[in-house]
Amino acid sequence: MINQKARTKKVRIIGAPLDLGAGHRGVDMGPSAFRVAEIHLAVRALGIAVEDFGDIEAQVAETRDPGNPRLKYLKEIRAMCVTLRNVVAKTMDEGVIPVVLGGDHSIAMGTIAGVARHFRRRREKAGLVWFDAHADANTEHTSPTGNIHGMPMAVCLGLGAKDLLSIYDAKGPMIDGERAAIIGLRSVDMLERANVAQVGIGAFTMRHLDERGMRSVMEAAIQRAMNGAAGIHVSIDLDAVDPEEAPGVGTPSPGGIGYREMHLAMEMLADTNRVSSVELVEVNPVLDRANQTAKLGVELLCSLLGKKIL
């Protein structure tokens, strides 16, 4: 069913084929997988205008030295995130919803920096709802791998290496922890736990979902994200979903969010009419089955943009 409010929306697809932040190769093919899954047709079927920016240029690991083992490929990741920041901010300034297709989750530093810049210029704040099996709250001091895709949530909320924090061209964090929530946690590094507490994000683990149900968790998450915020950025790592439903991810973790639970979360976010920007990350076609994970991502995006059953 087409949501009549959707007719006023316009979406811009932005590919961010970065895989330098992860330990497993292949997520650079994520944007292509979403396009093969007919993301454009699916969104247009909702009555939403869609345009495609194409892909932001990303460096290839084989042509670069990883550099600092605590912050691998820092220079290359930072450069792409700065470009992505500029594209996202310009897109939102034009009244268009950016839908960023990753790539690994380190791109969130660029996406959210752009979202924050847009709202800062309007003297407004952004909220954040982040779906992930992992907290992504490591720093160069706590990360067991030095892979930057395990750091973006911390950076976006103001914690981490100076070179990463400076992707946002203003003082303070991109998003305030009191206006942010992460949902689906089930794999958090021991040293990372203190970082999660420090940034002040509302952290909802699978135990919270098991005990309270998705509706209650989403009500709490949305309340946080809408706390004085003009818009909500939604960041979806497909590994938040159970691997049976989303096998094509680099770091799968069993016992994840179910198919209908995830759609309910998207539908509840759509009901707020505050979703201002979206990113879908960590789809690895090399590990997928018949593009199942990208197809699921497209379905979730449609629910987030207002698709309804009746």
Return the active site residues.
105, 132, 134, 136, 149, 237, 239, 282
How many CB atoms lie under 10 A from the CB of residue 286? 12
- DSSP code of 155? H
The number of CA neighbours under 13 Å toward the Cβ of 145 is: 15
User: Cα separations (Å) of 233 from 140, 189, 205, 275?
Assistant: 25, 25, 20, 6
Q: Distance between CA atoms of 142 and 146, rounded to whole angstroms? A: 9
Q: Which helix (H) or strand (E) holds 126?
A: strand 126-131
Q: Distance between CA atoms of 248 and 16, rounded to whole angstroms? A: 17
Position of tokens 């950016």? 98
- DSSP code of 134? B
DSSP H helices, 94-181, are 108-121, 152-156, 162-165
- Contact between 85 and 58 under an 8 Å Cβ cutoff? The reply is no
* Residue 15 region by backbone torsions, left for phi larger than 0, else alpha for psi between -120 and 50, else beta: beta
Sheet of 180-185, strand order: 49-55, 10-16, 97-102, 275-281, 231-237, 126-131, 180-185, 202-205
Q: How far apart are the first and last CA of the chain?
A: 6
Q: Distance between CA atoms of 195 and 207, rounded to whole angstroms? A: 20
SS3 278: strand
Q: Which residues pair with 82 in a beta bridge?
A: none
